[in-house]
Structure 1
Amino acid sequence: MTFSAEQQRDLKVQRGIRQVEDKLVQWIQDALDNTQYSKPEKNSKNNRDKLEESQFRNLVRVSDTTESSEVVKNFLRYQVGRDRKWGRGPQSLAERIVTDIDGNLRTTAQNIANSADSSHTNEIHIELVRRYLGYGARYLKYLNDGQSI
């Protein structure tokens, strides 16, 4: 079976994305572990003000419906304006996510595109954003409900 040049590039891109998944997980877990946002209080039955997985999943949904990382950041900033659950300021979870989107994820997308000889950097970038946020939603569920493993 012979693959066209475009198919070979696509396969290289997919391989490149799979190879950085550990980094994506580490970056979002580090963000959730080491930034300021509304976290659940241990042994408290009243955690109404904590950041919920559903709020994080809304951000994931936005990333799934756009090809623009700017739209994702815009929605996150809108959420920050609505309430303080995402944190505020330079040490906040929201700011860290924006920084990762503009920094780690963009650089990684460019590296994958370059190594695959692809001109689809934006598509790679938004795919990395989607995965990063999806892993974040999973980890937040663990932080909120599953730490008794």
Structure 2
Amino acid sequence: MPQTVLRNAFHVPAPPSAVLAHLSEPSSYVGLSPLVVAVRDVRRAPGESRFVSVERFRFFGFVKYDNLIEVTLRATGEAVEGEVVSPGGVRLDYRFGLAADGAGTEVEDRLTVDAAVRPLLWYAARKAREVQLARAGILAGRAPTLL
């Protein structure tokens, strides 16, 4: 199965414990990805959460498609990681590595994107990269509410 790995490192002016708590909560992902408009069916178990995330895509400016993806989320002391399974054969493994950096947190955002066919991988990887880069600014902008 074709795959690609995307990495981005950025600073969040909030302590690692606050960033970890925020990234460990499924509802935090609404808006953290510009595509995610809702989170539902949250199921919590020791050490992980599973939920359905609703990604909204717009084609040609007016055709709306809601993509329901299954998300698994696990938090450790220094990272939040998990998997995303999307219809159509797209899978993402993600990890937000967190490290203290002065008064804030250095976040290493790593995504591994797999898809059944190469054209789908190219599309999914392009969208994932757009979201990854936007997420850095959105999470940093949320920092005052994390304290």
Larger strand percent: 2
TM-score for both structures, normalised by structure 2: 0.35
**Larger RCO: 1 or 2 (CA < 8 Å, sep 6+):** 1
Larger helix percent: 1
TM-score for both structures, normalised by structure 1: 0.34
